[in-house]
Structure 1
Amino acid sequence: MPFSKSYAKVCCLILLILVSVWSTATETKNEEEINTLEKPLYTPFIERYVLDELKQLRTDLANTKHELMQQILDREHTSVDRAVTYATDTVTYFFYLIAGVSSILVLVGWTSIRDIKEKVQSIADEKIHNLVTEYEARLDAIEQQLKQKTRHIEENRDEIELTQEVQSLWLRAQQENSAANRIAIYDQILKLKPEDCEALTYKADSVLELNEPQWAVNLCNQALTIDPGNSHAFYQLACAHTVMGYYEDAIDYLSEAIALSETFRDDIETDPALVELRELESFKNMLNKGSSAS
């Protein structure tokens, strides 16, 4: 029994080492391929290939873990079988001993021999019951661990598939020239991830192209409800209020956007949606104030 447990532990350790070496070799190979690239991978086909490779790598790792857990379970089953066999053989030999002693004590009286037999049998039954109960508890614990691992693997696989599908939709939206078609793609992304603030704000940008500023305001407010510090939502609110003629509100929203992210300062000077603000004194003061603060 101790030898079997030690053998199972050694096998598990060897499998874990092999998985680690395989993962390290795979990462080294990927780094070498990346370092030898002659041009950047910007096409969606390459990104899709990388995502597929990542999915396959995680699937292989999950399968390896599952096989390892299955081997551990098989080892435990074998240990239980050996333990039960050992207990049965021990009880059998013990009864042989009792039979030999009982043949000597037969002259004493049948009642005494029967009492010895019943006592020995009750003790043996109790030992066997305790042994079986202990191993049943161990098997239940292993089964619960396997179920938990399987559930985690399924959740990770679903998350990978969802991420891959959303990434594909974002690539389609970037290649789409029609604002209406982009809005339809953003709706698909929001159907998969209802709390995607980025999809809400980019949808608001496309809605502004269709001259629907109030719709854009509603979308930005939804994004700010999810993420109150979303700078892109404040910037789109500024654009929408500029289109509606609420210039002071637009300048306030621009101030919020710049305070959260200085990258919008360059967009302000080139965005055609903000042309009406550039001649306002409050707009210039806002830019100057931001520049002096930085």
Structure 2
Amino acid sequence: MSRFIILVITLLLANFSYGDSGDNDSKAEQEITELDKPLYSPFIERYMLDEVKQLRLDLSAQKVDYTKQIVDREHHSVDRAVAYATDTVTYFFYLVAGATSILVLVGWNSIHEAKTQVQSLADEKISALIKEYEDRLSVIEQQLQQKSKNIDDNREEIELTQNIQSLWLRAAQDIGPSNKIAVYDQILKLREDNCEALTYKADAVLDLGEPQWAINLCQQVLEINPDNDHALYQLGCAYTALEQYDEAIRYLTQAAALVESYREEMAVDPALKPLADFAPFQRLIDHTPEAQV
């Protein structure tokens, strides 16, 4: 979420400068990389989520307005086309009537036949034209329905994200592992494939002294994302608690291969203290060739 907030701030800053957008982007990226502490707080995150939601709603309203204008223009075009077709048929009928007026001497049947043919031809042309525009309007209606569905989906996703963010803030305020686990379970009910909630739940479970439970949670994460470094690190801690040191070193090595800073964290992590005198663990911290798996 912090990366998302920083990205939104960067885009907003870039939109205020139209003259030299390339330089602004590079300056924004440089300032972000040089940050030594977060620029956000939970309240700013909530503010940014509300702003993004409002932008989405404004964009949706603008799309609906544009679509309405297009439909009105289509209706206007249909009216003009029908009027043009009617006028054309009328003038054509007058021409034919004038040309066939000489048939009066022949009899009323010939005039009636000419009138019937002209009327039939006019009906066919008008019917074809109406069908063509009905098909166009049907396509526009389908597009409007799809856009409405997308708007509803986006609104539901924003509300779900806000609920999950509120739960994360609540978990950060709770101290007891049991309370944290309850909050993580609520997050998983909203989004069951949330790897971050599963790994943090595994961390809380380890604090309760349940390493096997933590292993099961981390294995669920690896089924979703095999390269999840946090889950690999938690597996190393869980196997350490079970005194299965070889397995612990294997997962810790994989985690360190993905995130180099884990080596420093391993040296001071109380959960890995039983590995302090284990030679492979020392080689892993020192990053010697023997530590590679």
Give the TM-score taking structure 1 as reference length. 0.82
Q: Distance in 2 between matches of 1:244 and 1:119?
A: 95
Q: Distance in 1 between matches of 2:94 and 2:114?
A: 13
Q: Distance in 1 between matches of 2:175 and 2:288?
A: 34
Matched, 1:128 2:126: yes
1:292–1:27 CA distance, 2 compared to 1 (3 A): farther
Q: Distance in 1 between matches of 2:274 and 2:132?
A: 79
Counterpart selection for 1:179 from 177, 180, 202: 177
Letter in 2 for 1:143: E
Counterpart selection for 1:72 from 70, 73, 82: 70
Shift of 1:25: 10
Unaligned stretches of 5+ residues in structure 2: 1-10, 18-23, 32-36
1:28 corresponds to which residue?
16
**Contact 2:203–2:234 (CA under 8 A) maintained in structure 1:** yes
Q: Distance in 2 between matches of 1:49 and 1:286?
A: 43
1:171–1:57 CA distance, 2 compared to 1 (3 A): same
1:146–1:104 CA distance, 2 compared to 1 (3 A): same
**Contact 1:204–1:216 (CA under 8 A) maintained in structure 2:** yes
Mapping 1:136-285, distance limit 5 Å = 136-285=134-283
Q: Distance in 2 between matches of 1:92 and 1:290?
A: 95
* 1:237-284 alpha-carbon deviations (Å, 9 max, x no partner): 111111112122111111111112112112111211111101112211
1:264–1:40 CA distance, 2 compared to 1 (3 A): closer
1:104–1:80 CA distance, 2 compared to 1 (3 A): same
Identity over aligned pairs, percent: 58
Name which of structure 1's ranges 282-291 and 267-276 shifts more when overlaid on structure 2: 282-291
Secondary structure of 2:16's match? helix
Unaligned stretches of 5+ residues in structure 1: 1-22
Secondary structure of 1:184's match? helix
Name which of structure 1's ranges 89-98 and 177-186 shifts more when overlaid on structure 2: 89-98
Counterpart selection for 1:89 from 83, 87, 90: 87
Give the TM-score taking structure 2 as reference length. 0.82
Q: Distance in 2 between matches of 1:122 and 1:289?
A: 91
Shift of 1:97: 4.7
2:110 corresponds to which residue?
112
**Contact 1:41–1:47 (CA under 8 A) maintained in structure 2:** no
Q: Distance in 1 between matches of 2:104 and 2:236?
A: 106
* 1:28-64 alpha-carbon deviations (Å, 9 max, x no partner): 29x9xx99xxx96533122111110111011101110
* 1:195-214 alpha-carbon deviations (Å, 9 max, x no partner): 11111111100011111111
RMSD across aligned positions (CA): 2.7
Shift of 1:153: 2.0
Shift of 1:168: 2.0
